[in-house]
């Protein structure tokens, strides 16, 4: 267990805990050899393996080793033990840009300087084939000199992750900062999406509030899709012109980074970052797969499948008023239902055992979180069969999908409505399409940002 004052790998003395999340803790630490202050992100390897986040961690390591720029948080080295992965990173002690903005809007000069530094970093990332995909003030840190540093590359994409059409297809990011083309799931250019998010950040810095905001998430997405926002009266005409080109809902005609950097507003007082030999120096080769081998074990068939392909938008869509699919595609008659639960998989399975016993159904455990429920009586179209599959989103949060495998659809729907659903009420957080208690945006953030810890 990590604690203040303990020595890590005989090289770093751990200091205070800076932040923690589902899969990782971040500590201040001191290099015992040269006394340099660093931040160490300690990731629980077993939990990452269990929930299927291996590729995401590997990608974060690859990206951070590839991108070395004065306005990007630097990764110094990656170490591993049998149970932990350690990211040794640059210590940025000025806090998040978000904290600064939350106290009120910034003056034009400060906002411009941060924006210049952000665009410089993003342009460099793009030149290295890296799209960040989650740019927001919470992921922009400030050093002791007030210079901006881009962090959290857990959702970033490398050029080789694109499909054959040359576009990215994973919906990710934070709702208020995400580009309209990302929402509609039709494929998008990650560089254009980063430009949009940068424009939202600029607006927020100058205004002190978001350009697209609405209590109803669907309404907010409609505003994003139409770029429906208003400028505060203190915005200058030149920054309005620039923002109108950045917050263009059509990615094909959206302004490029090169054009942004040519604009008169952007160039005012510009100080280009100095790229040193150290920045250009390649890090020593690292076998990333080797980092994970120490604790990789065979699959346990009794565990639910990790649901690593779900993101904030998918989880949000399980609640009423937040199903975005109707905006972009035709509704189909479906024979499956989903619910989410805070209960462990063992409790969910026990509940299904109870239900089957009370309803006279047969229950078969197929492994990997798959249960098969079958009626003992013949129905209109043979015996009714239902598959219940449990997916682990995080160790404390599960998604269960119920799907008719055989039998009559009306009999299936009647059984679910009159018997199964009422019996499951003790373990259900929310059924898809219904409003849960609590704030679903917060739930989505907590369940889909396992590696973006603070």
Is 134 catalytic? The answer is yes
Closest CA to 234 of 279, 274, 203, 268: 203
Decide if 137 contacts 95 (C-beta within 8 A).
Answer: no
41 labeled part of a ligand binding site: yes
Give the integer Cα–Cα distance in Å for 105 and 246.
20
Q: Which listed residue (44, 134, 152, 314) is catalytic?
A: 134
**DSSP string covering 128-159, please?**
TTEE-----GGGEEE-TTS-EEE---TT-EEG
For residue 123, give every residue at least 6 positions away whose Cβ sits within 8 Å of its Cβ, in sequence order, or none: 257, 261
Decide if 93 contacts 144 (C-beta within 8 A).
Answer: yes
Decide if 72 contacts 58 (C-beta within 8 A).
Answer: no
Q: What angle is formed at CA 184 by the lines to CA 181 and CA 187, rounded to 5 degrees?
A: 60
Given the structure tokens 């959206």, which residue do they identify? 254
Decide if 300 contacts 49 (C-beta within 8 A).
Answer: no
Decide if 161 contacts 205 (C-beta within 8 A).
Answer: no
Q: What angle is formed at CA 323 by the lines to CA 319 and CA 329, rounded to 5 degrees?
A: 160
* Residue 352: C-alpha distances to residues 221, 379, 382, 386, 408 (Å): 37, 21, 22, 11, 21
Closest CA to 37 of 23, 16, 20: 16
Strands 24-31 and 430-431: unpaired
Would you please indicate which residues are annotated as catalytic (active-site) residues? 134
Residue ranges at the known binding site for ATP = 41
User: Which residues make up each annotated binding site?
Assistant: 41
């Amino acid at each position: 267990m990590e604690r203040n004052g303990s020595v890590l790998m005989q090289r770093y003395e751990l200091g205070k805990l800076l932040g923690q999340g589902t899969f990782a803790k971040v500590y201040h630490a001191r290099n015992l050899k040269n006394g340099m202050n660093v931040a160490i992100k300690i990731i629980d390897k077993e939990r990452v393996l269990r929930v299927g986040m291996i590729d995401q961690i590997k990608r974060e390591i690859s990206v951070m080793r590839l991108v070395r720029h004065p306005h990007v948080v630097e990764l110094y080295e990656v170490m591993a033990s049998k149970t932990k992965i350690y990211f040794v990173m640059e210590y940025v002690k000025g806090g998040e840009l978000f904290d600064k903005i939350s106290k009120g809007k910034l003056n034009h000069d400060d906002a411009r300087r941060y924006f210049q530094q952000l665009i410089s970093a993003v342009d460099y990332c793009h030149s290295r084939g890296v799209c960040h995909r989650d740019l927001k003030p919470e992921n922009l840190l400030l050093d002791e000199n007030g210079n901006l540093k881009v962090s959290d590359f857990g959702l970033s994409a490398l050029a080789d992750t694109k499909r054959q059409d040359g576009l990215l297809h994973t919906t990710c990011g934070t709702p208020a900062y995400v580009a309209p083309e990302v929402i509609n799931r039709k494929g998008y250019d990650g560089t254009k999406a980063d430009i949009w998010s940068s424009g939202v950040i600029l607006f927020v810095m100058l205004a002190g509030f978001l350009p697209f905001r609405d209590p109803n998430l669907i309404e907010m997405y409609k505003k994003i899709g139409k770029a429906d926002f208003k400028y505060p009266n203190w915005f200058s005409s030149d920054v309005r012109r620039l923002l109108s080109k950045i917050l263009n809902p059509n990615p094909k005609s959206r302004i490029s980074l090169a054009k942004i950097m040519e604009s008169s507003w952007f160039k005012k007082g510009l100080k280009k970052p100095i790229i040193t030999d150290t920045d250009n120096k390649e890090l020593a080769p690292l076998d990333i797969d080797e980092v994970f081998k120490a604790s990789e074990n065979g699959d346990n068939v009794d565990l639910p499948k990790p649901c690593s392909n779900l993101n904030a938008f998918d989880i949000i869509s399980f609640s009423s008023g937040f199903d975005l699919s109707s905006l972009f595609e035709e509704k189909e008659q479906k024979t499956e239902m989903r619910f989410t639960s805070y209960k462990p998989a063992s409790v969910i399975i026990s509940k299904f055992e109870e239900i089957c016993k009370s309803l006279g159904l047969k229950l078969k455990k197929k492994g990997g979180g798959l249960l098969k429920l079958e009626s003992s009586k013949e129905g209109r179209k043979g015996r009714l069969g239902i598959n219940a599959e449990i997916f682990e989103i995080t160790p404390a949060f599960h998604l269960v999908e119920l799907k008719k495998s055989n039998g009559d659809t009306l009999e299936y729907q009647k059984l679910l409505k009159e018997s199964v659903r009422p019996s499951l009420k003790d373990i259900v957080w929310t059924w898809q399409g219904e409003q849960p208690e609590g704030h679903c945006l917060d739930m989505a953030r907590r369940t889909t940002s396992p590696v973006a810890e603070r």
